[in-house]
């Protein structure tokens, strides 16, 4: 085999023989230039598949096939509640990350009982000093409320349309776990400002944990950092809220949606 | 021409001297790749069972597809992409806009800093935990659960926690108790009634959590907490049964219009 350059495929000569418009010429020249360097042709098959997937004619759904759209359209919003809770979760994640830049999980700075702590002061600073800080906190709080509401309504929709039935039991159980984690998300976020209601809500949490037999004291120490509330409680709630729960909940949501994707949407019929 | 097994001048053979593992004798040609059933025959134990099951379920699936028409077969689901995904993406911006609008109109309240020394008169969680907080206020029920010599079985707090466990447990068990292909509430009045009772219970428990706002006696509130869900369930059941009778009446009437009884 010789090392002489073989150029059987003279693309440029082939280009000249074609009768092309300016746009086509530019396109093909660019394509050839890129292909010589990046071997785009190897990926063409993938691109082709994507092209056809994106341009596929939508298969008829059950409602379309039997012309039930006139009766069914008002159920559609209920069928998007799961998606809405994910959207609210994303909005809360973005605003929460921004709030995290300014928040300090610390109970330091209180000279006497009832004085503002560093955490409380950082919230006040967010609401009064930071540009758009009040709006940011407002959006974070409201998106959390919307998420919880959407999750509850989503569960009711699934229940009343019997969508949890075989073979979807696993996803129902997964959804209950997700509801519990969503409530834990809300609870831990409620504690973070370290205002009166935060403190006493956490106090009720500790008391509930301590009333549980066998695992109660262990759970109280794990979640609240002890039997009395203080700096340890705040830091644990903070880590739970911004580190543990986001990973766990995001992963479970992905699994939940993945199972829906594989199994398809259960339609009432 | 020398074979791999031909002795060389040093007495050894190519076969013994080779370091590349020999020719790929174990890889079958493409057209001889074993099928699932052939693999099944070669394996044993759990792997064989797995192959057998795959074979069976694939055959079952094929039968379902070929032997029944679309109308008669249960609709197991319609695709997430593109129907559901596109519809949901279309309302995303509207929904996010609603969140921002509400945030702008109703900014959150911010209370006093935490004071471990003074318990506020009203302690409340966010609205979505009212039902849970209501479960912690079931202590008027606790004396009724007494068994031996008037001793209460569990502390008031533990009662609330057990109630949480019961509620989560019941909800988890639903798909394992309710089977079948019925989907609409009309097709399963009982389970729809259970659902309506559950929804009502969550509201009455929330009302129990904020019991101070109601000018009734506590006993009445506790009674209503458990009575109203039953009422709601019975009402739902009655309404759905009636609706179903109505559907059957319509069907029968059409049937008898076609072929009147002799």
Residue B194 clears pLDDT 90, i.e. is over it? yes
Give B114: exposed, middle or buried? Use CB within 10 Å, 0-12, 13-18, 19+. Answer: buried
Residue A140 lies in a domain: yes
Peptide bond into A269 cis (omega under 30): no
| Contact (CB<8Å) A141/B157 | no
- Find the mean pLDDT for residues B207-219: 86
Task: Taking the CA atoms of B106, A140, A221 and B138 in sequence, report the sign of the dihedral they define.
Answer: positive
Residue A6 lies in a domain: no
Residue of B93, B99, B136 best to disrupt the A interface, most CBs of A under 10 A: B99
Q: What pLDDT, on a 0 to 100 scale, did the predictor assign at position B63?
A: 75
Q: What pLDDT, on a 0 to 100 scale, did the predictor assign at position A119?
A: 94
Residue A18 clears pLDDT 70, i.e. is over it? yes
> Residues near A169 by Cβ (< 8 Å), separated by ≥ 6?
B175, B176
Q: What percent of chain A has pLDDT over 90?
A: 58
> Do A115 and A26 sit in the same domain of this protein?
no
A to B CB pairs, distance under 8 Å: 207
| Contact (CB<8Å) A201/B123 | yes
Chain B hits for A267, CB-CB cut-off 8 Å, are 75, 77-78, 183
- In terms of average pLDDT, the best of A112-121, B52-61, B177-186 is A112-121
> Do A242 and A133 sit in the same domain of this protein?
yes
- Find the mean pLDDT for residues A120-146: 95
> Do A234 and A112 sit in the same domain of this protein?
yes
More confident residue, B229 or A261: B229
> Do A119 and A196 sit in the same domain of this protein?
yes
Residue A137 clears pLDDT 80, i.e. is over it? yes
> Do A49 and A165 sit in the same domain of this protein?
no
> Do A113 and A188 sit in the same domain of this protein?
yes
| Contact (CB<8Å) A264/B102 | no
Q: How far is CA A45 from CA A53, A101, B193, in A?
A: 12, 45, 54
Residue A159 lies in a domain: yes
Q: What pLDDT, on a 0 to 100 scale, did the predictor assign at position A17?
A: 81
Task: Taking the CA atoms of B89, B92, B94 and B95 in sequence, report the sign of the dihedral they define.
Answer: positive
Nearest CB among A149, A162, A213 relative to B188 is that of A162
Q: Which residue has tokens 């032997």?
A: B67
> Do A105 and A149 sit in the same domain of this protein?
yes
A222 bridge partner residues:
none
More confident residue, A221 or B18: A221
Q: What pLDDT, on a 0 to 100 scale, did the predictor assign at position B73?
A: 43
**Residue of A38, A259, A44, A33 lying closest to A167 (CA atoms):** A259
> Do A39 and A159 sit in the same domain of this protein?
no
> Do A43 and A80 sit in the same domain of this protein?
no
State the pLDDT confidence band at B54, using cuts at 50, 70 and 90.
Answer: low
Chain B hits for A207, CB-CB cut-off 8 Å, are 157
More confident residue, B166 or B252: B166
**Overall domain count for chain A:** 2
Residue A7 lies in a domain: no
**pLDDT tens digits, B129-150:** 999 999 998 888 877 666 656 6
Residue B247 clears pLDDT 90, i.e. is over it? no
Residue A217 lies in a domain: yes
Q: A41: domain range?
A: 18-53
DSSP letter string over A109-124? T-SSTTS--HHHHHHH
| Contact (CB<8Å) A265/B172 | no
Q: What pLDDT, on a 0 to 100 scale, did the predictor assign at position A7?
A: 54
> Do A85 and A196 sit in the same domain of this protein?
yes
Chain A hits for B110, CB-CB cut-off 8 Å, are 123-124, 127, 193, 195
Average pLDDT along chain A: 86
Nearest CB among A84, A169, A207 relative to B95 is that of A84
Q: What pLDDT, on a 0 to 100 scale, did the predictor assign at position B142?
A: 75
Q: What pLDDT, on a 0 to 100 scale, did the predictor assign at position A29?
A: 85
Q: How close A26 comes to chain B (CA, Å)?
A: 34
- Find the mean pLDDT for residues A238-243: 96
DSSP letter string over A143-204? HHHHHHHHHHHHHHHHHHTTTTSTT-HHHHHHHHHHHHHHHHHHHHHHHTT-BHHHHHHHHH
Q: What pLDDT, on a 0 to 100 scale, did the predictor assign at position A127?
A: 94
Q: What pLDDT, on a 0 to 100 scale, did the predictor assign at position B72?
A: 44
Q: Which of residues 155-174 of B touch A (CB under 8 A)?
A: 155, 157-158, 160-161, 168, 171-172, 174
- Find the mean pLDDT for residues B153-178: 90
B83 vs A: CB within 8 A: yes
Q: Which of residues 76-135 of A touch B (CB under 8 A)?
A: 76-77, 79-80, 83-84, 87-88, 91, 107, 110, 113-117, 120, 123-124, 127, 134-135
Tokens of A186: 């809300």
State the pLDDT confidence band at B172, using cuts at 50, 70 and 90.
Answer: very high
Residue B255 clears pLDDT 50, i.e. is over it? yes
Q: What pLDDT, on a 0 to 100 scale, did the predictor assign at position B37?
A: 66
Residue A61 lies in a domain: no
Give B194: exposed, middle or buried? Use CB within 10 Å, 0-12, 13-18, 19+. Answer: buried
Q: How far is CA B130 from CA A136, A153, B127, in A?
A: 26, 16, 5
> Do A37 and A124 sit in the same domain of this protein?
no
Residue A59 clears pLDDT 70, i.e. is over it? no
Chain B hits for A213, CB-CB cut-off 8 Å, are 158
Q: What pLDDT, on a 0 to 100 scale, did the predictor assign at position B26?
A: 56
**pLDDT tens digits, A36-51:** 787 776 676 677 677 6
Residue of A185, A200, A261, A267 best to disrupt the B interface, most CBs of B under 10 A: A200
> Do A181 and A138 sit in the same domain of this protein?
yes
Residue A63 lies in a domain: no
Residue B33 clears pLDDT 90, i.e. is over it? no
Complex ipTM: 0.74
**pLDDT tens digits, A223-233:** 999 899 999 99
**pLDDT tens digits, B107-116:** 998 888 998 8
Q: What is the CATH number of the domain that holds A229?
A: 1.20.810.10
Q: What percent of chain B has pLDDT over 90?
A: 31
**pLDDT tens digits, B86-97:** 878 888 889 999
More confident residue, B61 or A147: A147
Reduce the secondary structure of B69-89 to three states and give it as a string.
CCCCCCCCCECHHHHHHHHHH
Peptide bond into B253 cis (omega under 30): no
Residue A146 lies in a domain: yes
| Contact (CB<8Å) B107/A195 | no
């Amino acid at each position: 085999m010789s090392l002489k350059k073989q150029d059987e495929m003279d693309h440029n000569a082939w280009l000249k023989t074609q009768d092309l418009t300016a746009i086509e010429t530019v396109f093909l020249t660019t394509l050839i230039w890129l292909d010589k360097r990046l071997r785009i042709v190897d990926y063409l098959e993938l691109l082709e598949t994507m092209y056809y997937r994106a341009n596929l004619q939508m298969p008829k759904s059950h409602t379309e096939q039997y012309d039930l759209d006139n009766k069914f359209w008002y159920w559609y919003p209920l069928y998007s509640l799961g998606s809405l809770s994910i959207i609210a979760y994303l909005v809360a994640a973005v605003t929460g990350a921004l709030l995290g830049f300014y928040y300090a999980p610390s109970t330091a700075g209180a000279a006497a009982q009832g004085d503002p702590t560093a955490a409380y002061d950082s919230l006040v600073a967010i609401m009064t000093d930071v540009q758009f800080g009040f709006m940011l906190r407002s959006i974070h709080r409201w998106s959390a409320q919307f998420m919880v509401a959407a999750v509850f309504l989503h569960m009711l929709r699934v229940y009343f349309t019997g969508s949890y039935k075989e073979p979807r039991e696993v996803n129902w159980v997964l959804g209950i776990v997700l509801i519990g984690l969503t409530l834990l998300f809300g609870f831990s976020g409620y504690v973070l400002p370290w205002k009166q209601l935060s403190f006493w809500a956490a106090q009720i949490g500790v008391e509930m944990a301590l009333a549980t037999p066998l695992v109660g004291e262990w759970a109280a120490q794990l979640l609240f950092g002890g039997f009395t509330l203080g700096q340890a409680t705040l830091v644990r709630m903070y880590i739970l809220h911004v580190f543990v729960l986001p990973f766990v909940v995001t992963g479970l949501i992905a699994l939940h949606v993945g199972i829906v994707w594989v199994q398809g949407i259960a339609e009432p019929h | 021409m020398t074979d791999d097994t031909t002795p060389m001048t040093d007495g050894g053979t190519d076969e013994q001297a080779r370091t590349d593992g020999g020719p790929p004798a174990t890889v079958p040609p493409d057209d001889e790749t074993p099928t699932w059933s052939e693999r099944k025959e070669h394996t044993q134990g759990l792997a064989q069972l797995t192959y057998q099951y795959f074979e069976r379920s694939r055959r079952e699936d094929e039968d379902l597809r070929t032997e029944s028409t679309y109308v008669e077969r249960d609709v197991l689901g319609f695709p997430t992409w593109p129907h559901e995904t596109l519809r949901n993406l279309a309302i995303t911006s509207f929904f996010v806009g609603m969140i921002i609008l509400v945030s702008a109109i109703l900014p959150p309240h911010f209370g006093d800093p935490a004071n471990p020394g003074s318990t506020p008169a009203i302690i409340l969680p966010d609205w979505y935990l009212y039902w849970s907080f209501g479960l912690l206020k079931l202590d008027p029920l606790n004396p009724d659960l007494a068994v031996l010599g008037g001793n209460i079985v569990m502390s008031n707090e533990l009662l609330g926690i057990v109630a949480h466990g019961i509620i989560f447990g019941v909800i988890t068990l639903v798909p394992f108790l309710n089977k079948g292909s019925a989907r609409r509430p009309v097709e399963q009045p009982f389970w729809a009634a259970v659902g309506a009772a559950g929804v009502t219970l969550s509201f009455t428990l929330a009302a129990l959590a904020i019991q101070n706002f109601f000018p009734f006696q506590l006993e009445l509130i506790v009674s209503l907490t458990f009575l109203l869900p039953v009422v709601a369930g019975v009402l739902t059941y009655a309404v759905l049964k009636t609706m179903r009778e109505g559907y059957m009446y319509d069907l029968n009437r059409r049937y008898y219009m076609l072929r009147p009884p002799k």
